[in-house]
Amino acid sequence: MKEYADLLLPNIDKTIEDYKKIYPDRNLKDGAIVTRYAPSPTGYVHMGALFSAFIASKMAKQTSGVFFLRIEDTDKKREIENGVSGIIKDLKNYGIKIDEGMTSETEWIGEYGPYIQSKRKEIYQTFAKHLIMNDLAYPCFCTEEDLENIRKEQESIKDRIGYYGKWARDRYLSHEEVINKINNGEKYVIRLKSPGKFENKVIYDDLVKGKLELPENDLDIVIIKGDGLPTYHFAHLVDDYLMGTTHVIRGDEWLSSVPIHLQLFKVFGFKPPKYAHISPLLKEDNGTRRKLSKRKDPEAAISYYHEKGIPTQAVLLYLCTVANSNFEMWYLQNKDKTIDDFKLEFKKISSSGSLFDVDKLLNISKNYISLLSATDVYNNTLEYSKNYDNELFDLLTKYKDYSINVMNIEREQKKPRKDLAMFSDFRKQNWYMYDELFNNLNYEWQNITDKNEIKEILNLYISKYDANDDKDTWFNKMKEVCDALGYASDMKAYKENPDNYKGNIADVSNVLRVSLTTKSMTPDLYEIMKLLGKERMEKRFNMV
Ligand code: GLU
């Protein structure tokens, strides 16, 4: 048998025991979860994948376990240049820290590497060789055409499609026949000699989906492809065994592969990991729910959040809410705590799919940003504008302290203003605080629209304005303007006899507000005036 196996995989001289010595069992405390995020190097992480990676990293962290990043690049056709770096960057941006795994295109940290499958070819082949020696795997010389013919025949007699049982043509080749074919230079893959029966059931307990009963695998799946690299299924077995993975947390598109995976662990006599299959994120679309789609929904790409300046922390808070809906209430009651203090539970993850609602995410983001200090908002907006808004970046750099003060209006107080859902909102809400942006004006006048009347109010007001006034004095001066020009300074008096007045104090303050900002609704006018200063106010009054 050894000779035969050597002929099929000639360069392999290690055994699986040798590898087990290199990668010993991990020494972790009871209940520690060792899990991973195992993407193909396609260059970016989409929201569904980020959701699974977030759950995996959180589970590892809260059990003092290990979370690692393994790159699954055995499908060379799907690969893109620098695909690993993009994934690393995305995880980093979202504060998802890895304990082990790839840190760049070619480097990794951790004792269980390489953490990139293309560098593990010999390891997989060693495991395949072990199966060959135990008569649990064999070479298959079928060409595409041969396989197509088998399929056609199965179709014609309405049999189940696949390479199994009597249909598994090369399962029955003798060693002599194999040797001849190899000597003839025929190409081959290596297949598992599946010990399963389709009529049998595999019962297993998924941590998210619950108890499942699936037909046993009887397909002689390919384990080593023609290029010598493993298939996904086989690499999963080898890697998760040697890397000591206790929990496989992944998208539920892999659910139907579980019988294959459990069978692979069984033929080697290894203890399988626990599986948690995460349902896709859903989107409400015209009253029905469908999968969040990479093609149709911009919010499915995590670059979307970067481009809008939506804080990554807010995205994570939302993902935590999506994962365990009790998180929202917990967070509300534990304002001083963070996600790290919350205990995420598998059984509270929806088994049928969770709704991903951007509006809700933005609401969470609004709350989150409202609790940041002005300096934090400044730094984040600066970072955002550096990438996406040069003009704003220059202004924020030039007027740093001033900008922090603008951001501090109605902030850092008990009930802070919730005006920013994303850092890109800052410009939309505050452009008028910068003279450089104060152009193309569209004044939102309300009750008072007559230019002469407006001018009269502004002239009288500026003659009284003093930036050193406290808020009460400031307000009294506005009242003085009202009294002098025939507007009610007292709302109650106005309501009793509206005909006695030209209007009321709200109309007057509106004229001041609109002249300075063009907007009929702004944050605190007293603060705005203070920041603009008398000279700039005067200039703006003259522009009206
Ligand atoms: N490479 C697989 C994927 O791209 C990973 C599946 C798993 O986590 O086992 O989805």
Q: For 170-191, write each residue's pLDDT tens digit.
A: 999 999 999 999 999 999 999 9
Give me the residues paired with residue 504 across strands. Answer: 488
Mutate which of 34, 36, 237, 250 for ligand 1 pocket (most atoms within 8 A of beta carbon): 250
Ligand 1: residue whose CA is nearest its atom 9: 250
Rounded to whole angstroms, how far apart are CA atoms 176 and 181? 9
ω before 114 within 30° of 0 (cis)?
yes
Specify the ligand 1 atom closest to the Cα of 253.
Answer: 10
Residues of each domain in the chain carrying CATH 3.40.50.620: 121-278
Is residue 254 lining ligand 1, measured as CB closer than 6 Å? yes
Other C-beta atoms lying within 10 Å of the C-beta of residue 501: 18
Measured CA to CA in angstroms, residue 488 lies from 129, 461, 476, 492, 525 at distances of 94, 15, 13, 9, 19
pLDDT of res. 82: 84
Atom of ligand 1 lying closest to residue 250 CA: 8
Residues 208/59, Cβ–Cβ less than 8 Å: no
CB atoms near residue 54 (< 10 Å): 24
Q: How far is the CA of 53 from the centre of ligand 1 (A)?
A: 11
Q: Are the C-beta atoms of 426 and 420 separated by less than 8 Å?
A: yes
Say yes or no: CB of residue 248 within 6 Å of ligand 1.
yes
Residue nearest to atom 1 of ligand 1 (CA): 39
Say how far apart CA 2 and CA 129 lie, in whole Å: 9
Please give the pLDDT value at position 512.
97
With 80 as the cut, is the pLDDT of residue 44 above it?
A: no
Q: Is residue 40 within 6 Å of ligand 1 at its C-beta?
A: yes
Q: Kindly indicate the confidence band of residue 348, based on its pLDDT and cuts at 50, 70 and 90.
A: very high
pLDDT-derived band of residue 75, with 50, 70 and 90 as boundaries? confident
The answer to whether the CB of 330 is under 6 A from ligand 1 is no
Residue 76 pLDDT > 80, yes or no? Answer: no
Nearest to 202 by CA among 194, 193, 211: 211
Residue with tokens 């969040």: 292
Distance CA 287, CA 477 (A): 54
Tokens 């007292």 belong to 490
CA 232 / ligand 1 centre spacing (Å): 8
* Residue 42 pLDDT exceeds 90: no
Q: Identify the pLDDT of residue 254.
A: 96
What pLDDT does residue 294 have? 87
Strand partners, 137: 192
Query: Does pLDDT of 307 surpass 80?
Result: yes
Average pLDDT over residues 390-416: 96
How much distance in Å is there from the Cα of 101 to the middle of ligand 1? Answer: 15
* pLDDT for res 1: 84
What is the signed CA dihedral for 23, 26, 31, 37, rounded to 10 degrees?
-50
Domain 451-543 classified CATH 1.10.10.350? yes
**Average of pLDDT values for 403-409?**
97
In this predicted structure, the answer to whether residue 465 has a pLDDT above a threshold of 90 is yes
Q: Output the CA 75–ligand 1 centroid distance in Å.
A: 12
Q: Residue 81: pLDDT above 90?
A: no
Place of tokens 């080898």: 238
pLDDT on residue 319: 97
252 near 279, Cβ under 8 Å? yes
Average pLDDT over residues 46-58: 96
Query: Angle 393-394-400 (CA atoms, 0-180°, nearest 5)?
Result: 85
Instruction: Record the tokens describing residue 198, joined without a space.
Output: 């389709």
**Percent of the chain residues topping a pLDDT of 90:** 95
- Ranges of CATH 1.10.10.350 domains, the chain: 451-543
- Whether the CB-CB separation of 190 and 223 falls below 8 Å is answered with yes
pLDDT at 79 over 90: no
Strands of the sheet containing 66-69, edge to edge, are 34-37, 66-69, 100-102, 108-109
Return the minimum-mean-pLDDT range out of 42-46, 452-456, 470-474, 513-517: 42-46
Considering the chain, what percentage of its residues have pLDDT values greater than 70? Answer: 100
Please, what is the average pLDDT of the chain? 95
- CA of 215 from ligand 1 middle (Å) equals 22
**pLDDT exceeds 80 at position 43:** no
Atom of ligand 1 nearest to the CA of 36: 8
For 261, residues 6+ apart whose C-beta sits below 8 A from its C-beta are 233, 236, 237, 272, 275
Whether 277 lines ligand 1, by a CB cut-off of 6 Å, is: no
Between the CA of 503 and the centroid of ligand 1 the distance, in Å, is 68
Say yes or no: CB of residue 388 within 6 Å of ligand 1.
Answer: no
Confidence (pLDDT) at 45: 84
- Calpha distance 467→463 (Å, rounded): 12
User: What CATH superfamily is the domain 121-278?
Assistant: HUPs (3.40.50.620)
pTM of the model: 0.91
Q: Are 1 and 129 in contact (CB under 8 A)?
A: no
pLDDT at 339 over 80: yes
For residue 36, what are the contacts with CB-CB under 8 A and spacing of at least 6? Answer: 56, 67, 68, 69, 70, 101, 240, 243, 245, 248
Task: Give the Å distance between the CA of 354 and the centre of ligand 1.
Answer: 20
